[in-house]
Amino acid sequence: MNVVILAAGQGKRMRSDLPKVLHRLAGRPLLDHVLAAARAIGAKKICVVYGHGGEQVPTALPADDVVWVKQSPQQGTGHAVLQALPHLDPSGPTLVLCGDVPLIRTETLNRLIAQAADGTLALLTVELADPSGYGRIVRNADGAILRIVEEKDADDAERALHEVNTGILVAPTGRLARWLPALTSRNAQGEYYLTDIVGLAVAEGTPVSSAQPEAEWEAAGVNSRAQLAALERIYQGRVAERLMEQGVGLADPARIDLRGELHCGRDVFIDINCLFEGRVELGDGVVIGANCVIRDCSIAAGSRIHAYSHLDAASVGQNCSVGPYARLRPGTVLEREVHIGNFVEVKNSHIADYSKANHLSYVGDSEVGRRVNIGAGTITCNYDGVNKHRTVIEDDAFIGSDTQLVAPVTVGRGATLGAGTTLTGNAPPEALTVSRTKQVTIPGWKRPVKKGA
């Protein structure tokens, strides 16, 4: 099976400098969704016809199984497929997909392919309440397909037809090689229409059949930003349905966004307005509070991420509590039952079991032992303006509030740092270390008074 994806068009109505097929749906370029559809039906080699936007398109989606074919200038869909022809194996059929129709399902494509057995030309068509903009399927009185007429070339009777061409078809490749060079551009748009192969097939007695998708949105193309946003909602709605079928609790299926993969254990609950990106794993019983953004993380069983937290490339162990308003940056590893509270930022740090940083802290490039308490307002000063340095805090240490740990520095096992300490040298184990000017009281001191008062 040959696959050709048409992706050379400009997408004028997007009003964008970015080629249309690189606009993103669920975080991935539209064309990437279509490539995935082609791979899902088992295509080993995929021809992508590109053109508008130049090398941006192949550069954005490098892949070993793609043959990039440049179409320049872009003279229509028929001209586009003609450019791919030299790369196609004439012994098998050719499936034509559109780079701007991202939600086509594998089952539908397989049904269309089944229709195309024995040299039949198979078209994917759909009945639309509002067919405007699409090419119409013209049938004879017996219901046999005669041709496709583009809207701009259609007469009133043809325009009144509701069955439209989705742009997706399967054609016998040998015949395609005959039909494509025979196309003319004598039409309203002065283009070589791929759709005109239908009339040629009928004229020479090649059977033409059609298949329909189960859902209208499978065949929906993206021509404008409004259509892209509408397809995004459809995609996300399906994601939410699938999650709930798997047993995930969603406070509101209309308010979750997935731009990647989400793997959930049993009895996970996700509150409203959460965004998941990259690959995220949530263990059994994990609860995600409202308005969290979670990218490339694994969160183990029993942990709770409270509202408004932002987690990026972090690993959270079992029964941890994170947030509200916490930020875990890349390289953060929390072991079991760690508590990270509000306005705490952790980066590239390992925090062992039962340790806590509950309020207003920055922990960066650190190794934190077990049962450590990090007081409010503690900051690791890990950057000297040139290099990053590590802070080590051993088991059972207690870090008083408003402490600065000027790395590289080590706080020994069981050590206590007094509040307000600026630690510039190591703190020995089991002792109190404090750096602070002694408190003084000046008796009888008077506040200055305003002059002339």
> Where along the sequence are the contacts to ligand UD1 (CB under 6 A)?
6-9, 49, 71, 74-77, 79-80, 98-100, 134-135, 148, 150, 164-167, 193-195, 221
Q: Which of the choices Ca ion, ligand UD1, none does residue 412 contact, using the CB cut-off of 5 to 8 A by kind?
A: none
Q: What share of the chain is helix, strand, coil (3-state, %, to 5)?
A: 20, 30, 45
Looking at the Cβ atoms of 12 and 44, the one nearer to Ca ion is 12
Q: Which residue has the tokens 């053109």?
A: 51
User: Least separation, in Å, of the C-beta of 16 and Ca ion?
Assistant: 15
Q: Which of the choices ligand UD1, Ca ion, none does residue 6 contact, using the CB cut-off of 5 to 8 A by kind?
A: ligand UD1
Q: Which residue number places its CB atom closest to Ca ion?
A: 221
Kindly provide the residue ranges of all beta strands, DSSP E only, lying in 273-372, ordered along the sequence.
Answer: 274-282, 287-288, 293-295, 298-299, 304-305, 310-312, 314-316, 321-322, 327-328, 332-334, 339-342, 345-347, 350-351, 356-359, 362-364, 366-368
Cα–Cα distance for residue pair 362/406, rounded to 1 Å:
12
The single residue of 87, 350, 359, 389 carrying the catalytic annotation is 359
Q: Which residue number places its CB atom closest to ligand UD1?
A: 135
The total of other beta-carbon atoms located within 10 Å of residue 59's CB is 11
Tell me if residue 263 is catalytic.
no
User: Least separation, in Å, of the C-beta of 408 and ligand UD1?
Assistant: 56
Looking at the Cβ atoms of 80 and 200, the one nearer to ligand UD1 is 80
Looking at the Cβ atoms of 82 and 407, the one nearer to ligand UD1 is 82
User: Least separation, in Å, of the C-beta of 150 and ligand UD1?
Assistant: 5
Q: Which of the choices Ca ion, ligand UD1, none does residue 29 contact, using the CB cut-off of 5 to 8 A by kind?
A: none
Q: Which of the choices ligand UD1, Ca ion, none does residue 378 contact, using the CB cut-off of 5 to 8 A by kind?
A: none
Task: Give the 3-state DSSP-derived string for 163-228, with helices as H, strands as E and coil as C.
Answer: EEEEEEEEEEHHHHHHHHHHCCCCCCCCCCCHHHHHHHHHHCCCCEEEECCCCHHHHCCCCCHHHH
Over its C-alpha atoms, the chain yields an Rg (Å, rounded) of 31
User: Least separation, in Å, of the C-beta of 135 and ligand UD1?
Assistant: 2
Looking at the Cβ atoms of 134 and 354, the one nearer to ligand UD1 is 134
Q: Which of the choices ligand UD1, Ca ion, none does residue 80 contact, using the CB cut-off of 5 to 8 A by kind?
A: ligand UD1
Looking at the Cβ atoms of 81 and 270, the one nearer to Ca ion is 81
Residue 88 and residue 171 in contact, taking contact as beta carbons nearer than 8 Å: no
User: Least separation, in Å, of the C-beta of 134 and Ca ion?
Assistant: 8
Residue 238 and residue 256 in contact, taking contact as beta carbons nearer than 8 Å: no
User: Least separation, in Å, of the C-beta of 67 and ligand UD1?
Assistant: 15
Looking at the Cβ atoms of 134 and 217, the one nearer to ligand UD1 is 134
Quick one: 172 exposed, middle or buried, by C-beta within 10 A (0-12, 13-18, 19+)? Answer: buried
Q: Which of the choices Ca ion, ligand UD1, none does residue 369 contact, using the CB cut-off of 5 to 8 A by kind?
A: none
Region of 27 on the Ramachandran plot (φ > 0 left; ψ -120 to 50 alpha; else beta): left
- Active-site positions read 359
